Amino acid sequence: MALFENYARRIDNILAVLKEYGISSVEECKDICAEKGIDPYKIVEETQPIAFENAKWAYTVGCAIAIKKGCTKAADAAKYIDPRKE
């Protein structure tokens, strides 16, 4: 199922990164966040209703990676949620 624009072209690279963190799919990222009571997809949607699906899933993936890395401070998590924040 295509979750976002150019899914077929992008998913292999995304999965390679997720594998580094022990995550098997983009959908699992949403579950990881939900276990912590966080819904980044919904947060993006509510913050910017016209946001593309790419953004919603990118933040979900970034949040899941931050959770897996054990981030407990927003500044640390931001490095994984939006790598441009370094």
16-53 pLDDT, tens digit each: 999 999 999 999 999 999 999 999 999 999 999 998 98
Q: Is residue 25 part of a domain?
A: yes
Helix (H) or strand (E) holding 75, with range, is: helix 74-81
Domains: count for the chain = 1
Q: Which residues of 47-61 are buried (b: 16+ CB within 10 A; e: fewer)?
A: eeeeeeeebbbbbbb
Q: What is the pLDDT of residues 50-86, one digit of tens each?
A: 989 888 999 999 999 999 999 888 888 887 776 554 4
* 3 inside domain: no
| pTM, entire model | 0.84
Q: Which domain holds residue 21?
A: 8-85
Quick check: is 2 in a domain?
Answer: no
